[in-house]
Structure 1
Amino acid sequence: MRHLLLLLPLLLAAPRALAQEPGDTHGSHAHEVVVDDAALVPHERPSRVTGEVATKRFRILHTAAATVAAKELAGQIEGIRDGFGAILGRDWPGVTEIRLGVGRAEFEALALPGGRPPGWAVALAYPAHQIILLDALSLYEPDGQQTLRHELAHVALGQLAKDWPRWFQEGVAQNVTGERYSLTHYSALFRAVTQERVFHFEDLEDSWPDHPSDVEIAYAQSAAFVAHLSGKFGPQAMGVLVDGVRDGEPFEQAFGKAFRTSLLVEETDWREGLAARYGWLPLTTSSALLWLAASGLCVAAYVRRRQQKEARLAEMAAQDAAEDAALRVLAARAAALPGALPGPDAAGPAPALTWPEWPAGAASSESDTLESRDTQEAVSGPHEMPPSASEAPGEVPEEPPEETSGESVADLPAGPRPPKPTLH
C-alpha cells in the first residue's frame, strides 16, 4: 500500500504548463503544424532540392545534407503507411510527397509559398496538397517516428475525406503513432475520471480547450475513444465511416450507418466503462502495478539490508574502539603501580638478561663429571665411557676412598683432590 501511495502523486501531478502557439498542439505534438489552406499552390521544385527517392506511394525530395536520411526514410515509409489500414480500413489515393532538409534554413526553404512554418515547428503537413515537410534531424529524436506518423495521419484523413471532427483526427493520429499507450495519457484519463472532468465529444468537434491540463485530457480521451471504436467494430466498419464522410454525409450520420448506433449512445456506453479502466480499481488489480510493487519491495529490501550491514559495521568499529581504550587504561594503571616493570614505551634501553654466576670453587666434581659425560655422550654416543686422563689404557679405575671415622665431607679440603698414586 505504501508503494501504491508513492505512485499516486505521479498520476495526480499537474501537467506541464506549455504555452500554446497558434496551430500548436500539445505535449509530444508541440513541434508539428497542420496547414489546411487549399489556396496555397505548390510551385516548381525548390532550388535547395538536390535529389529524389521514389517508392510505390511516396516521393521524397531532399537536400544534399539530407541524402542519407532520405534513403533511410524510403526503406521505412511504405511499412508505416500499411499500418493505417488496420485502423481506418482504407488507404488514401495518390502519391504523397515528403520534403526533407537539414536545419532551420533548409526546412523553411522547402515550405510552400505563403505557408512558412512557425519558428518552433520541425514538421509541417499540407493535407490538401498531400505534402509533408520535415527537418531530417527530427527523425533521429526519440519522438521522431511519432511526429512522422502524426503528419501522415493528417494527410491520410485530408485525402480520404473532409470535415472530420477535431477529436477524431487527433484520436486516429495517436492510435497510428501508439501514443495512447503512454503513461501521460493514462494519468490524464485517471485525473479526468476521478475529478469528473471528461469532456463530451460534441464540445471537441471544432475547437480544443485552452487550459493545458484540459488539453491533455482532450487528447487522451480522443485516442481512447477511437481505440474503443476500432477494437469494438473493426477496420471494416471504420472503412464504411470513411466512405460515408467522403461521400459528403455528416459525420454523425455516417457514424450511425457504420456502427449501427448513434454517437451519443456509444459515447455514453464508453464513459460508463472508464471507471473500470482508469479509476482506482485498476490501480489495485493491474498486473503491471503488481510487478511495479514487487520491484519496489525488492529495492526497499536491498536498501534495508544495506542499512543493517552498515549499522553492524559501525557497531563493530565502536566495540573495537572501546576495547582499545580499555587496554590503554589498564596499561596506564599497571605502569603506575610500584615495582612494575617498565612498559615498552618507557625511556631508555631495556636491561640485558644474564645468568647468575656461580661462586668460585662451588662447582662440585659430580656436576663436572655429569657435564663431561654429557659432552662425551654427545660426541661418541651413549654407553661409552672414555678413560680419564689419569687412567692408562687397560687399567682398572680405583675405588673411591673410604670415609674415615670422625671425618665429614665438610672437613675435606676444598678444590680438586690430588690423584692417588697407582701401583705398576
Structure 2
Amino acid sequence: MLRLFAVLMMLLASPRVSAQEEGPRGIHAQEAVITDAALVPHARPALATGEVRTKRFIIVHTAKAAGAARALAQQIEGVRDGFGAMLGRDWPGTTEIRLGVGRQEFEALALPGGKPPGWAVALAYPGHQIILLDALSLNDTEGPTTLRHELAHVALGQLAKEWPRWFQEGVAQNLTDERYSVAHYSALFRAVTQERVFHFEDLSEDWPDVPSDVEIAYAQSAAFVAFLTGKHGPQAMGLLVDGVRAGEPFEQAFGKAFRTSLLLEEQDWREGLAARYGWLPLTTSSALLWLAASALCVAAFARRMWQKSARMTELAAEDAAEDAALRLLAAARAAGPLSPDGSEALSPSALTWPEWPGATPTPGVPGPVGPSQPEALEGAPEALESGAGGPEASEAVEPGDEEPESPSGEHEVDAEHPAGRPPKPTLH
C-alpha cells in the first residue's frame, strides 16, 4: 500500500506534458509542450558553443548546429510578425531557441526535469519562453510547421496563462496553416457524417484518448478558431487576449470581445458544418472533378497497358511460330538437297513422263502413244472435231514437217529427249 502511494505521489509531482505518450499522427506526433512553471532554467548548457541574436530571439546552438542557427535567424522574425497580425498582439520579451543536432544533443539542451518525450523532435516551455529543437527536423517537410506550432504555444503562454486546450491548439494550427491540410478535412468529414463532433467544453482541459478522436479534436479546434477570426477579425482576438491577460475567465473575456457567448458561437459554427464538410461540398467541388479526371486517366492508362501487353503476347507467339518453321526447314535441309524455292528436290525420273509398256518411238509424233500407234491415233480427228468444233480446228501435217532421217536411215534422236523418254505429247 505504501509503495502504491509513493508511485502516485511521484506521478503527481512529475512535469505535466500536454500530449499523448504515443503521440498523435502527423505534425502533432513530433511536438510537445511542458507547462510546469516549477522548472528553473539553468545557465547555458555546456554543450552549447555559440548563439545568434536577432531583434526578439536568441538562438543558442551547438557546434554542429551553427549553420542551421544562422539560417533560422534569417526567417524567425518574419514568422513572429505573422503571429501578431492574427492575434492582434505580440508577446513581450525575447524568446530563446535551443538548437542541437541529433537525439543526444537535443536531450542535453533540455531544462532540468523537463526531458522531452522519446517521440518528440520539438519541445516548448511556454512559461520560460524557451523552445528546444532538433536541427535535423528543420530539413524535414514538416520541420518549419513544427517550429511555428511551438512558437504559437510560447506566444499564448506569454500573453496569458489560462487558455482552453482547444483554443491553444486551434490558434497554433491557424498560425501554421495546418487547417488547410487534407487530413483535417478528412477528420471533419468523418466527424460530421458520423455525428462525432465534440463539444468544446469537453476539450477545455482533457484531450481524447483514441487516436481517431484526437485527429477530430485537432481539426475542429482549428476550424472553430478560423471561424471566429474570419467572423470577428483580429481586433476582437486582441480584446480576448487582453481580457484573459487581465485575469478574466476565458468565457467572460470571450463574451466581452465577441459580444456573444461561446455556446451561441459554437451552435452557429455547427450549423454550417454539413454545408462545408458533408457530402454536398464533396460532390460539387472542383476537387471532385479533378479526382474523376485523374481516375479516368488512370483507367485509360491501364487499358492502354493491357492492349500493349496483349499485342506483345501476340507478337511473341508469331515469333515462336516463325522460329519453329525455321527449325523444321533447317532439319529438312540437313536431311537432303532442296530446290531453289526451299522444297524437296525431285529425282530425274520424277521430272519425266513414265514409259508405257510396249511404247515405241513413232516418226512425226513426239511422245509415246501406246503399244499400237495407228490404233491410238484412230478416233483422234473425231475427238478433235467434237472438242474443238470440227475439222477446221485441226491442222494438216505438211510433208515437210516430217523429222529428217539420219544418213544411216534412222530417225535422229533429240539429245534432250533420249530414246525411251519422250516429252509430254501436245496437239497441234
TM-score normalised by L of structure 1? 0.71
- Structure with greater contact order relative to length (CA < 8 Å, sep ≥ 6): 1
CA drift at 1:27: 3.2
Partner of 1:293 in structure 2?
Answer: 292
Distance 1:201 1:99 in 2: 34
Q: 1:25 to 1:91 in 2, by over 3 A?
A: farther
Partner of 1:68 in structure 2?
Answer: 67
The answer on 1:249 being equivalent to 2:248 is yes
Partner of 1:262 in structure 2?
Answer: 261
SS class of match (2:132): strand
Q: Is contact 2:35–2:125 with CA below 8 Å preserved after alignment?
A: yes
Distance 2:205 2:45 in 1: 34
Partner of 2:151 in structure 1?
Answer: 152
Distance 2:190 2:405 in 1: 125
Q: Which amino acid aligns with 1:154?
A: H
Q: 1:78 to 1:310 in 2, by over 3 A?
A: same
Q: Is contact 2:171–2:225 with CA below 8 Å preserved after alignment?
A: yes
Q: Deviations along 1:209-235, whole A, 9 cap, x unmatched?
A: 111111111011001101111111111
Distance 2:203 2:26 in 1: 18
Q: Is contact 1:85–1:235 with CA below 8 Å preserved after alignment?
A: no
Distance 2:98 2:348 in 1: 97
CA drift at 1:325: 9.2
SS class of match (1:111): coil
Q: 1:82 to 1:328 in 2, by over 3 A?
A: same
Partner of 2:220 in structure 1?
Answer: 221
After the TM superposition, which residues 15-164 of structure 1 pair with which residues of structure 2 at under 5 Å, given as runs? 20-21=20-21, 24=23, 26-164=25-163
CA drift at 1:202: 0.4
CA drift at 1:274: 0.6
Q: 1:253 to 1:320 in 2, by over 3 A?
A: same
Partner of 2:366 in structure 1?
Answer: none
Q: Is contact 1:25–1:32 with CA below 8 Å preserved after alignment?
A: no
Distance 1:93 1:250 in 2: 22
Q: 1:248 to 1:344 in 2, by over 3 A?
A: same
Distance 2:52 2:64 in 1: 14
Q: Is contact 2:24–2:215 with CA below 8 Å preserved after alignment?
A: no
Partner of 1:344 in structure 2?
Answer: 342
Distance 1:38 1:263 in 2: 29
Partner of 1:383 in structure 2?
Answer: none
Q: 1:344 to 1:63 in 2, by over 3 A?
A: same
Q: Which amino acid aligns with 2:280?
A: L
Q: Is contact 1:88–1:239 with CA below 8 Å preserved after alignment?
A: yes
CA drift at 1:46: 1.3
SS class of match (1:61): strand
Distance 1:245 1:157 in 2: 10
Partner of 1:275 in structure 2?
Answer: 274
Q: Is contact 1:48–1:106 with CA below 8 Å preserved after alignment?
A: yes
Distance 1:181 1:315 in 2: 50
Structure 1 residue runs of 5 or longer lacking an equivalent are: 1-18, 330-339, 354-407, 415-424
Q: 1:199 to 1:346 in 2, by over 3 A?
A: same
Distance 1:20 1:349 in 2: 98
Q: Which amino acid aligns with 2:21?
A: E
CA drift at 1:307: 2.5
Distance 2:41 2:292 in 1: 56
Distance 2:403 2:260 in 1: 144
Structure 2 residue runs of 5 or longer lacking an equivalent are: 1-18, 329-337, 352-401, 409-428
Distance 2:326 2:46 in 1: 91
CA drift at 1:79: 1.0
Q: Which amino acid aligns with 1:183?
A: V
Q: 1:114 to 1:328 in 2, by over 3 A?
A: closer
Q: Deviations along 1:313-363, whole A, 9 cap, x unmatched?
A: 55576678789999999xxxxxxxxxx989736489999x9xxxxxxxxxx
Q: Which amino acid aligns with 2:136?
A: L
Identity %: 77
CA drift at 1:412: 12
RMSD: 3.5
